[in-house]
Structure 1
Amino acid sequence: MRYEAGQEAPYTVTFLEMTERPDYPRPPAPVGAPVALMKAENPPVRYFLDLYRGVGEAYEWMDRVEQRREEVAEYVGDPNVHLYTLMRDGWPAGFFQLDFREAGVCDLAYFGLMPEVVGQGLGGWLLKTAIHAGWDGPGVARMTVNTCTLDHPRALQMYQKMGFVPYDQREATRILSAPRDIP
């Protein structure tokens, strides 16, 4: 169904988990333009929000933008929250964030590619890399992630393909910032 900017739209959030380290190996670096994955040390809020907006703008990611800056700074600055940036041709092409604040759990809090590189074969590589990095955390026995029907249309399928299994769903609504079709 088509919704216009400013309209309230329904969406479904799916919560997924993985309770065993995946049996697939760490992926080799993708071919093509050189890539680098960099872990940010003490990233400024502005840097995190730039990545968050760059990836999430098309998917209505607004929660962190709407939060008080102090709350975002506390989250981003927590030593148990790790931010990784995918660099390609010298600029950020995507990112993921791993949240280890709950004992024994790694939450893949954020994951995505910039619009300019979607469809270039980097998503599967980055997701497998994020999953292995999550399982490398101390004492991790469970990895979680959530996605929703506002995210990329293949997000849920990709998480399941990588080994995540749905364990809960919730319905929600959001006022859209741009027009879009929602299944």
Structure 2
Amino acid sequence: MADIELPAVTEWTMEMLDPADLRPAPAAGVEMTFTRAAVASADVSRALYAAVGARVCWTDRFPWTHEDWWAWVDRPELGTWLAMAEGTIAGFFEIEAQPGGDTEIHLVGLTPAFVGHGHGGHLVEQCVRRAWLRGETWAERTGPATRVWLRTSTLDHPNALGNYRARGFKVAAEKTAAKLVPDPRVAPWPLPDDPRLNPRILDEQELIS
């Protein structure tokens, strides 16, 4: 499964400069709750990245090692929220408090079972509301948010750009270039040891034999 070079991928940088610019979305068709992860987990973040992003070619983090993921998620300036609905994970978002008040929404999306039911606008609205609370309810001592921004592209969901515009984001920059995209069906996740050689498993095999 080789990488494919897409000749023209357009990427937009979008920004919001005032919390008053946020426009509410229609209510989700199901009750959704949003919980910030109080314990950093490379494993959970990696699993969510694959579950939400595989269908829209989130592949930039494929080369990351387990140590890379831990270095990324285990920081006070990074916040990850889980969206729950009907007893399961409906989506998530990841926000970073950056210097000077810049607050980047790195990742936001729904798990496949909740895509296509009108929940995306509500998810983005709740994500942006929390981004503007930077320095108050999360990323304490980093100061207030002065700009909330994100990137999206033609690889994203077809409704993503319109969704962000509808919530009040404006395009700050646009570029089109070729991009080499790995096969999103392959998500390497190297383990430190072969789990089949776990001493407990070997002991049980000896008991069975």
TM-score w.r.t. length of structure 2: 0.76
1:114-153 to 2 correspondence within 5 Å?
Answer: 114-138=111-135, 139-153=144-158
- 1:65 and 1:124, CA in 2 relative to 1: closer, same or farther beyond 3 A? same
Q: Does 1:8 align with 2:13?
A: no
Match of 1:110 among 67, 83, 107: 107
- 1:15-37 Cα deviation digits (max 9, x unpaired): 111111135576696343x4221
SS of equivalent to 2:45: helix
Please name the residue that 1:174 is paired with: 180
Give the partner amino acid of 1:17: E
Are the equivalent residues in 2 in contact too, given 1:49–1:65 (CA < 8 A)?
no
Q: Percent identity?
A: 29
Which of structures 1 and 2 has the bigger CA Rg? 2
- 1:80 and 1:161, CA in 2 relative to 1: closer, same or farther beyond 3 A? same
Aligned residues: 175
Match of 2:162 among 146, 157, 163: 157
Give the partner amino acid of 2:13: F
Structure 2 portions without partners, runs of 5+: 136-143, 186-209
Give the partner amino acid of 2:10: T
User: For 1:69 and 1:77, how far apart are their aligned partners in 2?
Assistant: 12
Are the equivalent residues in 1 in contact too, given 2:104–2:150 (CA < 8 A)?
yes
- 1:71 and 1:6, CA in 2 relative to 1: closer, same or farther beyond 3 A? closer
C-alpha deviation, 1:77, in angstroms: 0.7
Q: Does 1:92 align with 2:89?
A: yes
Structure 1 portions without partners, runs of 5+: none
TM-score w.r.t. length of structure 1: 0.86
Q: Which has the higher contact order (CA 8 A, sep 6+)?
A: 1
User: For 1:91 and 1:178, how far apart are their aligned partners in 2?
Assistant: 23
User: For 2:89 and 2:155, how far apart are their aligned partners in 1?
Assistant: 23
Question: RMSD of aligned C-alpha atoms?
Answer: 2.2
Q: Does 1:71 align with 2:68?
A: yes
- 1:26 and 1:8, CA in 2 relative to 1: closer, same or farther beyond 3 A? closer
SS of equivalent to 1:64: coil
Are the equivalent residues in 2 in contact too, given 1:9–1:176 (CA < 8 A)?
no
